[in-house]
Each structure stands twice: as structure tokens, then as C-alpha cells.
Amino acid sequence: MQRFFVLILLLTPFLSNAQDCKSDFFPYTKGMRYTFDNYDKKGKLQSSSSSEVLSITQVRDSMKATIKSQTFNEKGKEVGAGTVDAICAKGMVYIDLRSMLSGDLTRAFKDGEVTVSGTPLEMPSKLSPGQTLSGGDLTMSLKSGGIQIMKMTFTISNRKVETKESITVKAGTFEAYKISYDMEVNAIISRTFHVVQWMAPGVGLVKSENYDKNGKSEGWMELSKYGQ
């Protein structure tokens, strides 16, 4: 579960600045790196996540960023890695998690058949307090011998920009937009989470907090360093 939160939030700082893809939130420089530290609800370091823009390419009237992501446990040992693409077109960025999640699951269930589908998350190039943002969904299925043995769905809704405020994290102090949304996870059991994140112009995601349906903290993630 923590792996999914890392993926869905870590990828939002990236993408292009071409012709009609100018954005306050998506650095487009090849080699840009971001590192996030992930903490449990008691403030204990659980893992860290690092992402790097490997390449920026023109695809017809859009731009594509290929991003490498690595996850390390609290002892610094790599526990996950992969690449994912993000597309920017007409001022909107679309983040497709299928390739990375599919790769992770394929490695974890090498004898099974993994399928991943869903709607990419969208991030406008400009944000403003009171703005409503679109949601998204993701479905992952695992089959073995033609029989489905696991299915998980993630649905994001009620996504909105609440305000703009100053926030301090390990990487520094930023003026950032506070965004909140609900995430419903359905597997063997169903759970609902409330997520709050801060997006800083020129940087992207700087902090994310997760809460259960009763408003109790489930942990948080914050930017610890970034640059080339």
C-alpha cells in the first residue's frame, strides 16, 4: 500500500515546458532528481524514494518525460525500481502509472499474468484556490492458470485546491498550493483514505499526508532534496 502512495504522489513533480505545455509545476530538465522521505504516523522513517528525469522527447504535438524511480527501505537497501512515462499536451499533464506498477507486480508474481488499466491523473499547468481537479482510477488484476487470484482497484475523487500557504520541509520552505482528495482502495477489504499534498510552483510536490477515514494520521512523505 505504501508503495502505491509513493508512486501516485512522487510522480507529480515532473514534466514538460514545451510550446503549449508550459507549467508552474513540472520541471523539464533532463537529469533533474527528487528525493522524498516517507514516515509512519509516529514519525519514524520507513523508506525513501528517488526519481530522475531520464529523457524528454517530442511526440507529435506533445512532450513525453521518461522517469526512473527507486524505493529504498529505512536501511538504504533498494526494494523497488522502474520507469514510467508522463505526457504533457495542451497545458495538461497526464501521468500513467500502468507501466511501472505492471513491472513491479510482474517481478513479484513472476508466474502469474498481471494486467493494469485505468484513467491517468491530470494536473493543470496553473492552480488557484477553490479549483476543482479531476479524479482518476486504477485496476490491477493477477491471474494464474487463467484464474483470477487477485484484483485491486484504486479510485481518486473529491480532488480540489484548498489554499496557497507557506510550508517547511527538509528541502526548505516553499509557497505551495494545498490540494486534497479521497482515495478508495478495494481488494479483499475496502478502505478509504484522505490525502493532502502541497505543490510548489517551480518545484512540484513538496509534501503529502495520508489520513484514515476518521481523520487519523497514516503517515507522510516530504521532499528532502532536489536538483541536478
Is residue 184 over pLDDT 70?
A: yes
DSSP sequence for 113-152: EEEEEEE-EEEES---TT-EE--EEEEEEEEETTEEEEEE
Question: What angle, rounded to 10 degrees, do the helices at 98-108 and 2-10 form?
Answer: 150
Is residue 96 over pLDDT 90?
A: no
Q: Cell numbers of 189, please?
A: 477489504
Q: Cell numbers of 111, please?
A: 508466474
Domain count, the chain: 1
Q: What is the CATH number of the domain that holds 109?
A: 2.40.360.20
pLDDT computed for residue 2 by the predictor? 46
pLDDT tens digits along 55-82:
888 777 777 878 888 888 888 898 888 7
pLDDT tens digits along 119-146:
777 878 789 999 999 888 888 887 777 7
CB 24 within 8 A of CB 125: yes
